[in-house]
Chain A
């Protein structure tokens, strides 16, 4: 490799939103043909920085150079013209258009009368897909495609515009482990063909696996640069958070007692009327964490929804203690002492426009002391909310702030605060740490363990195998709506679980 291989150089980038310094004098150097990981907690300023590099935000000050030349990135078009491509965290694809139309949009092959030559467009897309081994059906409508494929379309769209600097903003946050592995392979391949890659993530394992260089950000500043060879997961985590972080939760052996949740021969249909949970049985006892491992979409969501009363079972029974709940409403189930941390916290966990305080009492706003004959008791609500904000370290400007303006980690803490203070006997936690930062993950994990030690029964559903392995006392591996294997956590290893969740078979 030649000595001068700088693809992009940013110097002294600053950006202020209101009173918050999102970026403060950031310097960044990106080499051609290398994968540069940008690591940091939520709110550290990573997304702001790359949005500036892509011309979506305008920096207050600072210089960006591409191939050694200073450039003015006022609009995304300027960035595209300079060979910068971006794969957005929330995909920027038009759902009702085809793959080919999405990829060529804004740069369509056409004749002099501006009539699009769609066959030519498809051909170009097919060539690109072949060159980079990113297979797509050019005629498929984007909204019908799985998330991993949509992301592939986003990558192809950048490559179609001859991007030689590719920015990926948290690309793995929405992917299954298999899709993640595939993406990381693709990135390595692109880098080997000379593409400079800026890869934003807060998943440490991915950084160590693919990055050539790592820049760590905290509170809008660059706090360090390193390479995977020089560091390890705990070193990176410490740089990110600014203190040492416990990545592996330490826990005592569980001492399970009475059975709390009993699911017997449950069958549930999904939204399309297909059998999603197929003759599934399990038991969770007081004082243990039962983890369900599996590739997403194997019936986990339907199982959780049925247990919490959001979906109706076809056949089979669910018992909480001695009470059959298959005919119960969500509120009746909640009042039996079932807490629920839902998979999609934005949609099902919080009411975004409502205040933090109101969200903290969402499961018992109608009860004393928060309500007196149907009249809200403002003081009791405020006192309780302040106590919870303190106890669970929810970082919010005030308890009256709309919950939608909190960061992901703090939203999850608010949900945890509500659900853990419920005097529950069973907690159903679905993807409890998805998309939140290391510090908040540590907090949620510690809370789960300490609640378990106080006698809570926990049903944990997670797509993160590491999370299942480090927290669970017993593990069930789900495949096509059935638990293929149920065993003590100590008797299962990563490879075996991985094999079962992808093939549905335990044999070698």
Chain B
């Protein structure tokens, strides 16, 4: 399993061969294009990261929930509510930071709603998630008001000193906005937490075999509440990213399916933060290439064709690279003790 440290380094490379081959090909391709068109290559990579950030965050949310045994198909709604709430708070108070915290807070509340219905009341998890998506759509559209702006403007790029001056990599990795940096840090952190700490082991045990966890004194209900609420907070951060960092305003249905793509990204990554990150980057890269095509007026006779590039990449990856993905065993089942 990819969750355990490889016993043998050769085995590790063999198991990950498709990831490694894909990465090498993309790196070679990128270096080659940057030889003659550095500006374009840089903008593709920057846009890759920008496209991938909400997907990574959404996938981390899904991962926290599903590793503990709760399906969260309400990520989309949690993001949307937080994007809206974060924007409202930031535009009223004039503080972006306050807006981000409000987004996270609203996400956690939405996580609490999901946990309350599906863990506390043992309701159907799919229905609970759907309720959140529909409610978020309705609430944000109803209270949506044109003409609100952010007094402080959207979040600004923070350059990391001399690192930002490195060609290509400096622009891509070290000249980003705060939530993007946070996301890049969150991936290895979450991996470490999940596979090296008490909390992580217990989360995985609860998601795989809740009654086994209960018999060694772990509170299944408690762990699930904790994870689903924390996951909601991460989805909230994704929402805040959209309205406060990427766009700078709120628009109706601005999540545009990203919450669902994040679920697919999580499955590509086999419920592993690092895997999900890789999957999100691949998806982001495909989206960035698509944007480039449109800039250059390539294949504009059939704009729909360009639009499907990311999805074709998705299908090819899903069919060829992922292989057998096994979800946590107790996923979707409400837990009760007797």
Contacts and interface: CB of A to CB of B under 8 A. Distances in A.
A116 B216 contact: no
Nearest to A110: B198
Interface residues of A, number: 32
A114 interface: yes
Given A92-B212, A116-B197, A106 B338 contact: no
Given A93-B212, A95-B209, A75 B217 contact: yes
Contact of B196 (A76, A96, A105, A116): A116
Interface string B205-243: 100110111111110000000000000000000000000
Given A57-B338, A105-B201, A95 B213 contact: no
A98 B4 contact: yes
Given A95-B209, A105-B201, A86 B196 contact: no
Contacts of B329: 95-96
A115 B205 CA distance: 16
A375 B218 CA distance: 52
Most buried by A among B1, B3, B209, B329: B209
Given A115-B196, A115-B197, A116-B197, A97 B215 contact: no
Nearest to B207: A94
Nearest to A157: B216
Given A94-B208, A97-B204, A97-B208, A106 B197 contact: no
A106 B205 CA distance: 10
Contacts of A54: 215
B198 A76 contact: no
Contacts of A161: 216
A61 to B, nearest CB: 17
Contacts of B4: 98
A86 B212 CA distance: 11
Given A94-B204, A94-B205, A105-B205, A116 B215 contact: no
Given A76-B214, A86-B215, A93-B212, A108 B198 contact: yes
A210 to B, nearest CB: 24
A108 B213 CA distance: 13
Contacts of A141: 1
Interface in A152-168: 157, 161
Q: Size band of the B side of the interface?
A: 20 to 34
Given A94-B208, A94-B212, A105-B205, A76 B197 contact: no
Contacts of B204: 94, 96-97
Given A116-B198, A157-B216, 12 more contacts: A56-B215, A56-B338, A75-B217, A80-B217, A92-B215, A96-B1, A97-B201, A105-B202, A108-B198, A114-B199, A115-B196, A116-B196
A77 interface: yes
A107 interface: yes
A114 B198 contact: yes
B218 A105 contact: yes
Given A56-B337, A114-B198, A114-B199, A76 B217 contact: yes
A106 to B, nearest CB: 3
Given A92-B209, A114-B198, A114-B199, A107 B216 contact: yes
Nearest to B198: A114
Interface of B: 1, 3-4, 7, 196-199, 201-202, 204-205, 208-209, 211-218, 329, 337-338
A80 B216 contact: yes
A106 B211 CA distance: 13
Nearest to A98: B4
Most buried by A among B1, B3, B199, B201: B201
A501 to B, nearest CB: 33
- Interface SS majority for chain A: loop
Contact of B205 (A97, A107, A110): A97
Contacts of B217: 75-77, 80, 106-107
A46 to B, nearest CB: 17
A14 B338 CA distance: 16
A384 to B, nearest CB: 36
Interface of A: 54, 56-57, 75-77, 80, 86, 88, 91-98, 101-102, 105-108, 110, 113-116, 139, 141, 157, 161
B225 to A, nearest CB: 16
A96 B216 contact: no
Contacts of B205: 94, 97, 105
Contacts of A106: 202, 213, 216-218
A494 B4 CA distance: 46
A101 B218 CA distance: 14
A114 B197 contact: yes
A94 B198 contact: no
A161 B212 CA distance: 15
Contacts of B201: 97, 101, 105, 108, 116
A348 B202 CA distance: 34
B91 to A, nearest CB: 39
A151 to B, nearest CB: 14
Nearest to A109: B198
7 contacts: A56-B338, A76-B215, A92-B216, A105-B218, A107-B216, A110-B198, A113-B197
A97 to B, nearest CB: 7
Nearest to A91: B212
A56 B213 CA distance: 12
B338 A76 contact: no
A116 B203 CA distance: 14
Contacts of B216: 76, 80, 92, 105-107, 157, 161
Given A114-B199, A116-B197, A116-B201, A92 B218 contact: no
Contacts of B196: 115-116
